[in-house]
Amino acid sequence: MPKLTIDNKEVEFIQGQTVIEAARKSGIKIPHFCWHPGLSISGNCRICLVEIERLPKLAIACSTQAAEGMVVHTKSEKVVDAQNAVMEFLLINHPLDCPICDEAGECKLQDYAFKYSKGASRFDEEKNHKDKRITLGPNVMFDRERCISCSRCIRFCDEIAKEPQLTFIQRGEKVTITTFPGKELDNPYSMNVIEICPVGALTSRDFRFRSRVWDMSFTDSICPGCSKGCNTIVGVRKNEILRIEPRQNPDVNEWWLCDWGRLNTTKYVNDEKHRINSPMIKPEEESEKLIKVDWEEAVSKSVSDLSNKEKKVLFFASPYSTLEDNYTLKKFAKEIFDSSDVVYIPNIDESFGDDLLKKPDRTPNAAGLKALGINPYTEKTLDDIAAGKYKAVYAINDDLDKLHLSKTKWNNIETFIFHLNSYNRFAYENADVIFSESTYAEINGTFMNFEGRIQRLKPIVATLEQERLLGEYSMSRLDKFGAANDRWMKEVRFDARPTWKIITQIAKAFGVDFKFEYSEEVFAEMCAKELGLNDMDYEKVGSRGYPVKK
Ligand code: SF4
Ligand code: SF4
């Protein structure tokens, strides 16, 4: 491999790489605003200037190709002077309104002003004032004063979203980005410009002014919006999900997320109006109304309702639930009822898919069900229900109304048991027992994406179950600082449990001990028995996922 020297360190590079790429690969940081590894090079911000021996002038590291024997300095006096000058220039008209800027705390301009500027400006004229509240589209706001004209947002729309919706207009100090006349920034990936904007010029209409970033905690997760399984970082304050951002994974979503996934996959987690906050049963004598009960009572009613050996049970697995949940359901069907009648309801929407990330399969774990040998329901399943083959239905995390069976066809079912996290009309009308199950944001577990990659979920927010397991649960850093404002004191914890755990409890009441205490034990057994993967654990899944060879 060819080599160059950066700051006296010998660095290997691949032919064709630029100096900034070679430096990055070897852990040397060169500041940059306009350069982004996922976009073309524009070379307009100049903060990445470096000194290259035998070149007469400083060169920008983002567009200079690395060459064998090249000697680069990123911290020489000349370079530091250039960095100071660029920062002074960029800050001339910048409003310096960090105290009210959403980006503060994670802003490149703020960080670089600290690291690469002199901390003083010689400019004492009136700053050039511009509009601060421009609605660019349904999800993105623009603050013209904060923009440093790096063109990342323009290049993203042109090159990644393939919808050229932004452009520069004007010149010099008046230059600004804008949409074309009569058009909006409304492509399905528009919100990615918010993160790639190196300053607080582009902000999310959904998250704007909702929290300072240092008051939030962040957890790696997976978007459950479709079978792509994009990697995310979820921001939480006071046990409430406030923001989802992309987490870089070159094998899955690179640096991006779709707007739909960001905006629609978490709201229900904190929805106090619709979340199910306790197990419920329908008492024998009052046939109409569900009443809240404790976990033991719901388990014991399920056992008594399912105990009649003559009652054949149909099990509905769920492509929205984890591998652990579905494996435990399959095991439950087999070991307690000697049944393989486990099916699921697919959700394919061709209009949702595209060539970038979005997949027509709107569920996060259909590939996982396939790997577990669980197939979609068939016309025969529906005929069997109508013909009275089954007397009980046990369904996790899905809406059976999607089967479009008439009420009379369901009439043969004497017992309905559901695991649900949110209100569902069909379940409320028919259930004998409803278990309040945790959402994907409250559990340890795994999904398998459309390519067979197992990816890891971790608890993002806490339920009462976690509080019980962990004892004193530290809710957020805000507690420590005591800087409380009543408006932000939302701190709701639902009484919900993971599906695998509920099923394990019921199996135990039937006299069968699955010996599952943690989800990782379910995972290890499932990998060994269903996927032929011995000694698997969550560590092996790691942050980038584990591709299962087919
Ligand atoms: S809005 Fe942000 S990303 Fe777009 S040109 Fe300005 S600074 Fe760059
Ligand atoms: S493409 Fe699918 S997985 Fe990715 S963010 Fe959108 S909905 Fe979520």
Per-residue model confidence (pLDDT) at position 478: 37
Parent domain of 137: 98-108+125-270
3-state secondary structure of 332: helix
249 and 102, same domain (yes or no): yes
Q: Which of 47, 66, 91 is the last residue of a domain?
A: 91
Q: Are 236 and 462 in contact, with CB atoms under 8 Å apart?
A: no
Per-residue model confidence (pLDDT) at position 284: 76
260 and 369, same domain (yes or no): no
Establish if 43 belongs to a structural domain.
yes
Per-residue model confidence (pLDDT) at position 363: 98
**Which value, in Å, is the radius of gyration of the alpha carbons in the chain?**
28
73 and 205, same domain (yes or no): no
Establish if 470 belongs to a structural domain.
no
Q: How far is CA 444 from the centre of its chain?
A: 14
431 and 290, same domain (yes or no): yes
- Ligand 2: which of 226, 267, 352, 440 to mutate, most ligand atoms within 8 Å of CB? 226
Establish if 466 belongs to a structural domain.
no
Per-residue model confidence (pLDDT) at position 285: 67
Ligand 2, CB within 6 Å, residue ranges: 223, 225-226, 228-230, 253, 257-258, 260-261, 357-358
Establish if 464 belongs to a structural domain.
no
317 and 256, same domain (yes or no): no
310: buried, middle or exposed (CB in 10 Å: 19+, 13-18, 0-12)?
exposed
**Rounded distance between C-alpha atoms, residue 127 and residue 354, angstroms:** 44
Task: Give the torsion through C-alpha atoms of 301, 307, 310, 312, to 10 deg.
Answer: 70
**Rounded distance between C-alpha atoms, residue 152 and residue 202, angstroms:** 11
166 and 265, same domain (yes or no): yes
**Rounded distance between C-alpha atoms, residue 349 and residue 226, angstroms:** 10
Q: Are 217 and 480 in contact, with CB atoms under 8 Å apart?
A: no
Q: Which ligand is nearest to the CA of 169?
A: 1
**CA separation (Å) from 531 to 315, 320, 371, 424, 454?**
21, 20, 7, 33, 11
259 and 285, same domain (yes or no): no
For residue 356, how far is its CA from the centre of ligand 2 (angstroms)? 10
150 and 233, same domain (yes or no): yes
Per-residue model confidence (pLDDT) at position 549: 73
Within the chain, which residues score under 70 in pLDDT?
A: 285-287, 309, 470-490, 550
For residue 194, how far is its CA from the centre of ligand 1 (angstroms)? 9
Q: Whose CA is nearest to atom 8 of ligand 1?
A: 150
Q: How far is CA 61 from the centre of its chain?
A: 33
Identity of the amino acid at 443: I
Identity of the amino acid at 348: I
For residue 289, how far is its CA from the centre of ligand 2 (angstroms)? 38
Half-sphere exposure (Cβ direction) of 157: Cα atoms closer than 13 Å = 24
**Rounded distance between C-alpha atoms, residue 448 and residue 326, angstroms:** 12
259 and 291, same domain (yes or no): no
Neighbours of 345 (CB within 10 A): 20
For residue 4, how far is its CA from the centre of ligand 2 (angstroms)? 40
For the chain, what is the largest distance between any 2 Cα atoms, rounded to a whole number of angstroms?
92
- N residues, the chain: 550
Closest CA to 177 of 167, 165, 191: 167
Establish if 275 belongs to a structural domain.
no
Establish if 398 belongs to a structural domain.
yes
131 and 33, same domain (yes or no): no
Q: Count of domains in the chain?
A: 3
Closest CA to 141 of 198, 194, 203: 203
263 and 295, same domain (yes or no): no
- The CATH number that applies at residue 517 is 3.40.50.740
The angle formed by the CA atoms of residues 415, 389 and 320, to the nearest 5 degrees, is 60
- The CATH number that applies at residue 74 is 3.10.20.740
Closest atom of ligand 1 relative to the 196 alpha carbon: 3
Provide the token pair at 333.
Answer: 């069907």
- The CATH number that applies at residue 153 is 3.30.70.20
Edge to edge, the sheet with strand 546-547 lists: 445-448, 453-457, 546-547
- Ligand 1: which of 202, 203, 204 to mutate, most ligand atoms within 8 Å of CB? 202
Establish if 329 belongs to a structural domain.
yes
pLDDT tens per residue across span 438-477: 999 999 999 999 999 999 999 999 898 877 776 544 444 3
Q: Which of 66, 91, 116 is the last residue of a domain?
A: 91
Establish if 477 belongs to a structural domain.
no
149 and 240, same domain (yes or no): yes
